[in-house]
Every structure is written in C-alpha cells, then in structure tokens.
C-alpha cells in the first residue's frame, strides 16, 4: 500500500529530528524524492557548472525521471524509516558501549567520544601484570580493534602506570616444572606483543605514573605516549637477570639511538619523563596537576579526525616493518625463555619477595 500524505508529512518532520547527520549522499536522495513527491519530474533549468551544490541537487532530482509522485512519496517514507531505526539502534549501541565493559577482572574498559580506554586496574599492586592480565589485555585489544572507536588508550589506575611483569608469575610453578612455566610464559609473551604489533588503530599510552619493565618496552609500539611529569621509565633487566622484550631491542635504538638505548636496556638507567621526552620515547610531558584534563582534551579532538585516514596512515607506517617486528618478538621471547631458567633471574625474584631487593 502506498504512503498517504499524512505519512509523508510525518516523515518530512522526522528528518528534522534525526540525531545523526545522514551524510550528503542520503541528503541528496531525500531532496530528490521530496521534490519528485511534491512537484513531479524535474522542471527547472540545469544550474551552471560551477554552482556545485545546486547542480548536485538538480542531478539527483533529474535522475528520478518520470517516477510517479506516489512512488516517490513511498520511497521517501521508507528511506526516513530506515534512517530512524539505524540511528535508534546506533544510539542504543553507544549507550551500551559508554558503560563499563563487563567480563574483565583486572582491567576497566570504557568507550566514550570514539575513544576506547583500557585501564590497568590493580592499583594496590602498582598495576603489575599477571598472566590473567596479559590475557585480558589481548582480549581487550581484539575487541577494541573491532569496535567503533577511532583511538585506543592505555592507562593505569592509581599512582603507578605499571610496575611491569608481576613477579609472582615466576613463583607458581605448574606440575611440568619450571621449564614448562618458562615455555608457556614465552608463548604468552610472544602472543601478547604480537597483538600490539598488529593493532590497527592509533594506540595511545597515557602514562600517569612510573612505568617499569614490559610496561616501558611496549611503548615503542605505541603511536603516542603522553606522560605526567611524575612518570619514570625503568627497564632494570640486568638487575633481574633478564633481557629486553616488547621489540625494544629494535625500537629503542631506532627511537633514541644506540647509545641511549644501551643505557636503558643494558644498564637499567631510570629516565625521568623529561629525559624520556628528550630521547623520543615520550611524545609530550604534562604537569601532573593538569595531566588528565590536558591529555583528554587533546585526545577527544584527535578522535574526531577521519577514522579511515588515521587507520590507513597507521598501516602505511607499520607495514614497512611488521614482519621484522614479529621476527624480533619471536627471538626476544625465545631468549627470555632461557633467561627465566637462570639462577640470576630466579634469585632476583626471590630477593624481591623476601624484601631483600626493590628497584
């Protein structure tokens, strides 16, 4: 049955109430159908070549040829009804997404203003990364890569960004013994870092406080690193009998030059936020008192940029060296698997828990 005049008038009013701009293509369709429904086939002279907007409107109307008024009215009503239901369902999805994401014990994940925020949430343990946390982060990244956000942000809850690998990861030994533990840990580490190498959207670290170990090395795979002036950056691998991970054996020398990378990765020099900025690891440092406000204002503005352009640009930048990064990750993980079995590494972990050593 065709749409009656009342349905058509109601659809015309609903267009004015749409919450989301339907885009130029749809607006042209609506214009053309409206003109056809109210005036019949296009009856005005073609606008000049440089009168771009009126020419596009005229073309759209003229393209409807001799479509009967009745059919144009019906098509208009159908088009508006489709727009309303998609805008209703997208606002429903948005309000769901705005809520805290369920199913994560160690992270708080929220989506707002086209930004998905992944917050490490073990403040009492300085956001040390347990095996459960590595797994949840991988799941969160997988979900963020598919959601409708444009930017993904990592941050920490509490005074630390993260104190790196939770050293209890080395203390709960499975029935297969320490070798099995080291093997499983190397697989988990490799999978974890692979997720960062392959992550398709702009990835931002909001480093709210000190960062240690893997929480620092992985920053070399982020696109922006904003730091509070309270943050520090520490990779004490030689103190722990360990070696670099997170592709930092490649990204750090590339970012800061070999000499400075060696100071951090071999000699465990702890950097202030200002030093990390000077060496290119950090994009910008903000005073702690205004850190959150300044950073989120900046990120909200960035999140409105073209999603496709940002994602394609990231792929162009990353694709040059993706294969290389995966190979480096595999090699670093393999070497660490051996290091974790060393006396030096085991003693360092025991010293921490017997309170003999702290960084």
How many residues bind ligand L24GHEU4 (CB under 6 A)? The answer is 24
**Neighbour count for residue 68 (Cβ, 10 Å):** 14
Helix axes 5-17, 69-98, angle to 10 degrees: 40
Indicate whether 156 belongs to the interface with ligand L24GHEU4 (CB under 6 A). no
The Cα 118–Cα 112 span in angstroms is: 12
For ligand L24GHEU4, which is the closer residue by CB, 64 or 231? 231
Binding part of the chain for ligand L24GHEU4, among 45-53, 121-129, 150-158, 223-231 by CB under 6 A, reads 121-129
For ligand L24GHEU4, which is the closer residue by CB, 37 or 215? 215
Strand partners, 156: 120
Q: Give the angle 114-120-123 at the CA atoms, nearest 5°.
A: 135
**Least distance from C-beta 212 to ligand L24GHEU4, angstroms?**
5
Residues 6+ apart with CB under 8 A from 231: 161, 207, 208, 209, 210, 211, 273, 276, 282, 285
Binds ligand L24GHEU4 (CB under 6 A): choice among 36, 149, 155, 163: 163
Question: 212 near 248, Cβ under 8 Å?
Answer: no
**Least distance from C-beta 231 to ligand L24GHEU4, angstroms?**
13
> Cα dist. 9→12, 52, 76, 208 in Å?
5, 29, 10, 54
Residues 6+ apart with CB under 8 A from 184: 174
Indicate whether 164 belongs to the interface with ligand L24GHEU4 (CB under 6 A). yes
Site string for ligand L24GHEU4, 3-42 (x = CB under 6 A): ----------------------------------------
For ligand L24GHEU4, which is the closer residue by CB, 202 or 236? 236
Indicate whether 169 belongs to the interface with ligand L24GHEU4 (CB under 6 A). yes
**Neighbour count for residue 180 (Cβ, 10 Å):** 12
Indicate whether 202 belongs to the interface with ligand L24GHEU4 (CB under 6 A). no
Binds ligand L24GHEU4 (CB under 6 A): choice among 3, 214, 256, 299: 214
Which DSSP letter does residue 50 get?
Answer: T
| Run of H or E residues at 63 | none
The Cα 99–Cα 149 span in angstroms is: 14
Indicate whether 153 belongs to the interface with ligand L24GHEU4 (CB under 6 A). no
Q: Which of residues 243-272 bind ligand L24GHEU4 (CB under 6 A)?
A: 245
Helix axes 5-17, 24-39, angle to 10 degrees: 150
Least Cα distance to 34 among 4, 82, 76 occurs for: 76
Residue 203: phi and psi, rounded to 5, are: -115, 125
- With CB atoms as reference, the residue minimizing the distance to ligand L24GHEU4 is 213
For ligand L24GHEU4, which is the closer residue by CB, 119 or 214? 214
For ligand L24GHEU4, which is the closer residue by CB, 201 or 234? 234
Binding part of the chain for ligand L24GHEU4, among 11-19, 106-114, 183-191, 302-310 by CB under 6 A, reads 183-191
Indicate whether 131 belongs to the interface with ligand L24GHEU4 (CB under 6 A). yes
Residues 6+ apart with CB under 8 A from 58: 42, 44, 46, 47
**Contacting residues toward ligand L24GHEU4, per CB under 6 A:** 125-126, 128, 131, 134, 163-169, 185, 188-189, 212-214, 240, 242, 245, 352, 358-359
């Amino acid at each position: 049955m065709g749409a009656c005049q009342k349905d058509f008038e109601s659809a015309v009013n609903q267009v004015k109430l749409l919450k989301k701009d339907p885009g130029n293509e749809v607006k042209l369709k609506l214009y053309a159908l409206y003109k056809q429904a109210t005036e019949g086939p296009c009856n005005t002279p073609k606008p000049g070549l440089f009168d771009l907007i009126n020419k596009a409107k005229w073309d759209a109307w003229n393209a409807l040829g001799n479509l009967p008024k009745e059919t144009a009215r019906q098509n208009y009503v159908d088009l508006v009804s489709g727009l309303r239901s998609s805008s209703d369902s997208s606002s429903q999805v948005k309000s769901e997404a705005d809520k805290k994401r369920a199913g994560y014990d160690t992270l708080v994940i929220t989506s707002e203003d086209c930004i998905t925020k992944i917050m490490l949430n073990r403040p009492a343990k300085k956001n040390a990364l347990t095996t459960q946390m590595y797994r949840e982060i991988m799941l969160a990244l997988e979900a963020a890569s598919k959601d409708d956000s444009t930017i993904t942000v990592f941050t920490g809850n509490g005074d630390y960004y993260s104190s790196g690998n939770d050293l209890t990861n080395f203390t709960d030994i499975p029935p297969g013994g320490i070798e099995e533990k080291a093997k499983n840990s190397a697989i988990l580490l490799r999978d974890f870092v692979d997720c960062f190498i392959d992550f398709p959207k702009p990835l931002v670290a909001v480093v709210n406080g000190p960062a240690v170990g893997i929480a620092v090395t992985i920053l070399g795979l982020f696109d922006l690193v904003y730091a509070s002036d309270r943050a520090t950056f520490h990779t004490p691998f030689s103190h722990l009998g360990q070696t670099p991970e997170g592709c930092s054996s490649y990204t750090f020398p590339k970012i800061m030059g070999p000499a400075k990378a060696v100071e951090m990765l071999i000699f465990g020099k702890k950097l202030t936020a200002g030093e990390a900025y000077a060496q290119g690891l950090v994009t910008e440092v903000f005073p702690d008192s205004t850190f959150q406000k300044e950073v989120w204002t900046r990120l909200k503005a960035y999140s409105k940029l073209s999603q496709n352009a940002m994602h394609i640009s990231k792929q162009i930048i990353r694709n040059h060296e993706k294969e290389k990064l995966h190979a480096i990750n595999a090699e670093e993980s393999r070497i660490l698997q051996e290091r974790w079995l060393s006396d030096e590494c085991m003693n360092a972990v025991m010293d921490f828990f017997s309170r003999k050593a702290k960084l």
